[in-house]
A and B are shown apart, each in its own frame.
Chain A
Amino acid sequence: DGGITQSPKYLFRKEGQNVTLSCEQNLNHDAMYWYRQDPGQGLRLIYYSQIVNDFQKGDIAEGYSVSREKKESFPLTVTSAQKNPTAFYLCASSTRLENYEQYFGPGTRLTVT
């Protein structure tokens, strides 16, 4: 089945540790995105990548880093510099065709204590 996978579903970390969230897609989509969602709030864009080896900062990139070495994979690292890392993280992908509708993975709930 084609789709987007994120792992793990739940992640717990101590403050001061970097953590990497996985996102893989087998939809042959060129574009991939990372969003953060906090309770009662909308999705906020962290980073996005339209093509392999290229990515752009979104609205809240500070404290995060990404890489796009393969078309299928777009891992997100939450660094210790991110002040409020506890959130629901969603990865999405889309084709580069005109409509750009995005499909989401199941998300990772990160809790940092």
Chain B
Amino acid sequence: RKEVEQDPGPFNVPEGATVAFNCTYSNSASQSFFWYRQDCRKEPKLLMSVYSSGNEDGRFTAQLNRASQYISLLIRDSKLSDSATYLCVVIGPRGSTLGRLYFGRGTQLTVWP
């Protein structure tokens, strides 16, 4: 079983739409969670961390459900510039894998005018 599984996508939405991405992780002892954004042929860039209580950054909201081992990212009022691949990332638990990031395959989002 993969460490991190993401919605396969792709998602094609109109400007202004609300879109949600989901991600599950396999190791219940995982410590930290992130969403990264990757533009075509570029490096991944940190979008936001995911906290247990949920967190919001402008149009973006991230949620963590430890009981279900589930992470989500909600984008409201989509912009053309949101078109990218969104990567769900989980940090391994304490121990030999401390510090290792496990990446999902990514979900591609295209926002059309």
- Judge whether A100 and B105 touch: CB under 8 Å: no
Chain B CB within 8 A of A102 CB: yes
Question: Which among A31, A42, A104, A105 is the interface contact of B105 at CB below 8 angstroms?
Answer: A42
Centre residue among B31, B43, B49 by max chain A CB count within 10 A: B43
Smallest CB–CB gap between B102 and chain A, Å? 8
* Chain B residues whose CB sits within 8 angstroms of the CB of A107 once the complex forms: 42-43
- Judge whether A50 and B105 touch: CB under 8 Å: no
Question: Which among A33, A40, A104 is the interface contact of B43 at CB below 8 angstroms?
Answer: A104
* Chain B residues whose CB sits within 8 angstroms of the CB of A90 once the complex forms: 43-44
- Judge whether B49 and A100 touch: CB under 8 Å: no
* Chain A residues whose CB sits within 8 angstroms of the CB of B104 once the complex forms: 42
Question: Which among A35, A43, A50 is the interface contact of B99 at CB below 8 angstroms?
Answer: A50
Interface string of A58-98 (1 = CB under 8 A from B): 10000000000000000000000000000010101010101
Question: Which among B42, B99, B106 is the interface contact of A106 at CB below 8 angstroms?
Answer: B42
Considering the chains assembled together, what is the distance between the CA atoms of A92 and B44 in angstroms? 10
User: B-side interface residues toward A, CB under 8 Å?
Assistant: 31-32, 34, 41-46, 49, 87, 91, 98-101, 103-106
User: A-side interface residues toward B, CB under 8 Å?
Assistant: 31, 33, 35, 40-43, 45, 48, 50, 58, 88, 90, 92, 94, 96, 98-107
